[in-house]
Structure 1
Amino acid sequence: MHYGQIISCIALASGAAMGLGALISPRWASGVVRLVEDPDPARPGGYSEFRATYGGLFLMAHLSALLIALNLPAIYAGFAALPLALGWIGAGIGRLISLFADRDRNRAQGLIPVWIPLEIIIGLAIGANLVQIYDIIRTFTK
């Protein structure tokens, strides 16, 4: 197994594990993303959103890309994980913009400066399988 595929699979498994964690414990997911359910007693709930978006969506998207990465040739696996990789990088970019543009709206910087590089690193790690494609192309063009 190529090192890019190993890095990608570890990152995808981590994303799937985060999804499983949110699916099982929406309170944990709420704490991680620092969002809370609606405090209006007439509108109870909100946990279904954590279970769905941060749970089921994360779990199934990362798990499906992981299964593709483990079972298909590198060229398909790399491109299958690309949307997730770019999604994580996009999240980091969005958070970076928020750090400056929403300075007055954010309660405090908190973990924003920590999440920015972490999300970009996770995105690059998921996309690491593309390094293998580059190596394959470079081998054939010599």
Structure 2
Amino acid sequence: MPLTEIPAITGLGLGAAMGLGALLVPEWASGVVRLKADPAKGGGYSEFRATYGGLLFLVHAVALGIVLLTPPAGSALAVMPIAAGWFGAAFGRVVSLLFDRSKLGDTRIIPIWMATEVALGLAIGAPVLQFLG
């Protein structure tokens, strides 16, 4: 196993664990993302379990399986879209800081989330490094 796969395995495991946590305890996911289900409209918990839970869990878990079971080229291809997704989340926060200042309230947590998302993107995307240079 190339050393570049170790951070990917760690990042994918963390992403899968976050997804599993949201799948099993949607209240936790609601608190993390600071959104609340609207009982009047229904479907809120289903959304937390589906998007923050099942989607995150299976995307990361399947990629983790691919990294563990395939040659390095296969793992690099499997992790690229997921790493890009984490970079995209950080980019979305930058856009929000630029355009949503009046709606954001306390923005101190945003740089922390951005750093976390960039770190996950770098860790998960690390297998690509073995093919550069």
Shorter-chain TM-score category? over 0.9
Gaps of 5+ in 1: none
Q: Which amino acid aligns with 1:51?
A: R
Larger Rg belongs to: 1
- The aligned residue for residue 13 of structure 1 is 13
Normalized against structure 2, the TM-score is what? 0.94
Q: 1:125 aligns with which of 96, 113, 123?
A: 123
- The aligned residue for residue 46 of structure 2 is 48
Gaps of 5+ in 2: none
Deviates more, 1:83-92 or 1:102-111: 102-111
Q: Which amino acid aligns with 1:10?
A: T
Q: 1:81 aligns with which of 72, 79, 82?
A: 79
CA offsets per residue over residues 116-139 of structure 1, 9 Å max, x none?
Answer: 1110110011000111233xxx5x
Q: What is the rounded CA distance, in whole Å, between the counterparts of 2:40 and 2:55 in structure 1?
A: 27
Query: For the Cα contact (< 8 Å) 1:74–1:133, is it kept in 2?
Result: no
Normalized against structure 1, the TM-score is what? 0.89
Q: What is the rounded CA distance, in whole Å, between the counterparts of 1:80 and 1:22 in structure 2?
A: 23
Q: Note the C-alpha offset of 1:107.
A: 2.4
Correspondence 1:66-77 to 2 at 5 A: 66-77=64-75
Aligned residues: 133
% identical aligned pairs: 50
RMSD: 1.2
Correspondence 1:71-110 to 2 at 5 A: 71-110=69-108
